[in-house]
Amino acid sequence: MGIKLPGKAGGKTKTKSTSSAPSKGPPGEEHGFNGGDPFTESVDASGANVNEMFEKLLDDMNLTEEKKAPLRAKDTGFKRQMLTMQARGSSKARGGELDTPQAFVQELMNPDLKGQKRTQVLETLRVSLTSKPVSWVMEFGEKGLNAILKNLTYCCDNIHERRSTYECIRCLKAFMNNTFGLKRILEHEEALTIMSRTVDPADPPTMLEAVRLLAAICLVPPKGHEKALEGITVCGEIRGQERFLPIISGLGMRDNPAMQVACIQLVNAIVSTPDDLDFRMHLRNEFMRTGLIDLIGWLDNQEDDELKTHVHIFHEHKDEDMEEFSHRYDNIRMEMEYPFFWDRLSISTNPKACFEVILSTVSNTVAEPYFLSILQHLLSIRDDMYARPQYYKLIEECITQIVLHRSGCDPDFRATKFDIDVEPLLSSLTGSSKFEDSGADLSIADISVKLDTALTAKQEAEAKATSLESKLQQYEAELQQLKEG
C-alpha cells in the first residue's frame, strides 16, 4: 500500500556543549544513558564496554539496521563522543519544567488544562515523543497514552479545541512510531475507537492525520486490521450513521487531493487486508453502497498521479477477487454437471434440495416475496418442448451476469436499468435452436419410418397368420370329411 509512519528523529537532537559537569542522576535509574558522572566514567572504561553501550544507544534511537550499520563502523572515539553527548543532553533536559514523562502525565491530567495552554503542552509533548529515545517513550507508557486519550476525548466534544485535537493525534502518531508504542495502541481497549472519532470531515487537518494512521494500523499483523475496523465500527454506531460514511466524504473532497489519497489508501487497506474472499467482497460492496459507487467514475478520471495509482490498486484488487470468485462459481457448476458428486453436494444434482436450501435462506425475510414472484414468473413460461429450454438458458445467463457482475461489486440497486449482454447468447440460442429443432425433426422422421415399417411388418404378419388360419381351417374340414366317409 505504500503506507508507513514517518521515520523517527530520535537520537538526532542537537545539544549545546557546556563546560559544567552534568549533575548526577538520582540513584537507582535503570537506563545507563541518563546518569551523570557515573556514566562518563563508564564510557572511559574499555572499548568492549563502549561497543555494548553504543548498541543500546542505537536501539534507544529507534534506528533501522540499515541506519545502524554506518554508525557501528565508526571508531571508538566517535562512539564515546556520542555516548557522552547523549548523557549530557539527558542530564540537562531533566532540569526543564516539562521534560520528564511524569511531568507531562501530571500536566495532561490537570483538570484546569484548557485552550492555548493545552495546545502548548501537547505541542511540547509531541516534540519530546518524536525526539526522545525509545526508553523515554516507554517511561511515558500506559499512563501517558491514557492522558493523551483523555484529552483527545474532551477535545472531540469541543469545537473550540480543534487545534488541540490535531496535536493529540500527532502525539499518538509519535507515540506509536516504535514497536512499544504501537503494541500499546493495539492492546488498548478504546484507543482506536477514540482515534476514529477524529475521522471527521468537519475538521480536515485532523481527519487527514487520523486516516493515515488508521490505514497504517490496518496493515499491522495480526490484529491491526481487526482493531482498526472495530474502532471505525463502534464510532459509526455511536454517531448513528454508516461506519464508512466519513471516509467516503473524505474521498469526495475534490479540493483536497491529499485527503482523497489518504482515504483511498484507507479503503484499500480495509478491503484488501483480510484473507477471506467473502469478507473482502463484503467490505468492498459496503463501501460501494455507502457512496463509492457514485465517486469511482470521477476518481478514475483524475490526473493526480498518486491518486490514480491508488485508485488503480483498488480496481486491481477488485478484479483479482472477481476472478477468484468466478473460478469458485465455475467449480460449483462443474460439480453440478457430474452426478457422482451427489454424496458431497446434494444441491449440485438435486433440484428439490437446491430449492429447499434457497427457500430456507429467504423464508420470513423481506426477500421472500421477491423469490415467490420469480417462481411465479417461471410458471408463466409457455409449455413448449422447444421454447422452454431456450427460456431457461436465457434466464440462467441473466442471473449469472447479475450475481457474478463483471465489476466485482454488487450492482447499483438504485438503478432502474441493468446492462446485461445477451446478444452472444441469443445468437448461440438461435443457432442451437435450429440445430436442436433439426435434430428433433430428424428423430421424429426416423421414428415415423420405423413405425411404418413395424406396422407394415405387423400387417404382413397378420395377413400371413390369417392365411395360415384359413389353411388350417381348410385342413381341419378335409380331415373331418375323411373321418365321416
What is the crossing angle of helices 204-218 and 257-272, to 10°?
30
Tell me the per-residue pLDDT of 103-117, one tens digit each, with 9 for 90 and over. Answer: 999 999 999 999 999
Whether residue 26 has pLDDT greater than 80:
no
Contact 232, 199 (CB under 8 A): yes
Average pLDDT over residues 33-47: 43
Domain containing 405 — which CATH number? 1.10.238.150
Which of 35-39, 154-158, 240-244, 286-290 is predicted least confidently?
A: 35-39
Domain final residue, candidates 93, 126, 145 = 93
Residue 296 domain-assigned? Answer: yes
User: Is 383 strand, coil or helix?
Assistant: coil
Does 332 lie in the same domain as 236? Answer: yes
Average pLDDT over residues 189-194: 96
Does 216 lie in the same domain as 89? Answer: no
Structure confidence at residue 288 as a pLDDT band (50, 70, 90): very high
Does 386 lie in the same domain as 275? Answer: no
Average pLDDT over residues 355-368: 89
Does 320 lie in the same domain as 287? Answer: yes
Tell me the per-residue pLDDT of 237-263, one tens digit each, with 9 for 90 and over. Answer: 999 999 999 999 999 999 999 999 999
Tell me the per-residue pLDDT of 407-417, one tens digit each, with 9 for 90 and over. Answer: 566 666 666 56
Q: Where does 224-350 have alpha helices with state H?
A: 224-239, 245-251, 257-272, 277-287, 293-300, 305-336, 346-349
Domain final residue, candidates 286, 302, 337 = 337
Structure confidence at residue 428 as a pLDDT band (50, 70, 90): low
Average pLDDT over residues 379-404: 83
- Residue 350's contacts (CB-CB under 8 Å, 6 or more residues apart) are 342
Whether residue 341 has pLDDT greater than 60:
no
Contact 251, 288 (CB under 8 A): no
Contact 236, 225 (CB under 8 A): no
Structure confidence at residue 22 as a pLDDT band (50, 70, 90): very low
Residue 239 domain-assigned? Answer: yes
Average pLDDT over residues 314-319: 94
Number of domains the chain contains: 3
Contact 108, 121 (CB under 8 A): yes
364: its cell numbers: 420470513
- Residue 212's contacts (CB-CB under 8 Å, 6 or more residues apart) are 3, 262, 265
Which of 43-52, 156-165, 303-312, 391-400 is predicted least confidently?
A: 43-52
Structure confidence at residue 58 as a pLDDT band (50, 70, 90): confident
What is the per-residue pLDDT for 339? 43
Structural domain that includes position 79:
32-93
Does 299 lie in the same domain as 197? Answer: yes
What is the per-residue pLDDT for 37? 38
Residue 169 domain-assigned? Answer: no
Structure confidence at residue 323 as a pLDDT band (50, 70, 90): confident
Whether residue 401 has pLDDT greater than 60:
yes
What is the per-residue pLDDT for 42? 43
Residue 454 domain-assigned? Answer: no
Whether residue 29 has pLDDT greater than 60:
no
Q: Give the angle 308-310-311 at the CA atoms, nearest 5°.
A: 65
Does 78 lie in the same domain as 42? Answer: yes
- Percent above pLDDT 70 for the chain: 73
Contact 144, 131 (CB under 8 A): no
Average pLDDT over residues 392-404: 80
Whether residue 200 has pLDDT greater than 60:
yes
What is the per-residue pLDDT for 156? 94
Does 257 lie in the same domain as 226? Answer: yes
Domain final residue, candidates 273, 307, 337 = 337
Does 350 lie in the same domain as 303? Answer: no
Which of 9-13, 43-47, 161-165 is predicted least confidently?
A: 9-13
Does 194 lie in the same domain as 332? Answer: yes
Residue 168 domain-assigned? Answer: no
Q: Which residue has the higher pLDDT, 422 or 141?
A: 141
Does 361 lie in the same domain as 264? Answer: no
| Residue 35 one-letter amino acid | G
Please tell me the distance from the alpha carbon of residue 431 to that of residue 425, in angstroms, as a whole number: 10
Please tell me the distance from the alpha carbon of residue 164 to that of residue 152, in angstroms, as a whole number: 8
Is the four-CA dihedral 370, 283, 286, 315 of positive or negative sign?
negative
Taking the CA of residue 188 as centre, how many other CA atoms within 13 Å lie in the half-sphere pointing to its CB? 26
Does 302 lie in the same domain as 258? Answer: yes
Tell me the per-residue pLDDT of 429-478, one tens digit each, with 9 for 90 and over. Answer: 665 555 454 454 545 666 667 777 877 877 888 888 888 888 888 888 88
Most confident of 3-7, 367-371, 412-416: 367-371
What is the per-residue pLDDT for 403? 74
What is the per-residue pLDDT for 483? 75
Residue 163 domain-assigned? Answer: no
Residue 393 domain-assigned? Answer: yes
Contact 120, 162 (CB under 8 A): no
Whether residue 308 has pLDDT greater than 70:
yes
Residue 102 domain-assigned? Answer: no
Distances in Å between the alpha carbon of 378 and those of 274, 374, 393, 419?
A: 39, 6, 12, 21
Q: What is the mean pLDDT of the chain?
A: 80
Whether residue 177 has pLDDT greater than 90:
yes
- Percent above pLDDT 90 for the chain: 45
Domain containing 203 — which CATH number? 1.25.10.10
What does the DSSP 8-state code read for residue 11? Answer: T
Does 292 lie in the same domain as 195? Answer: yes
Contact 267, 317 (CB under 8 A): no
What is the per-residue pLDDT for 71? 82
Contact 302, 295 (CB under 8 A): no
Taking the CA of residue 465 as centre, how many other CA atoms within 13 Å lie in the half-sphere pointing to its CB? 6
Tell me the per-residue pLDDT of 63-92, one tens digit each, with 9 for 90 and over. Answer: 778 877 888 888 887 777 777 776 665 544
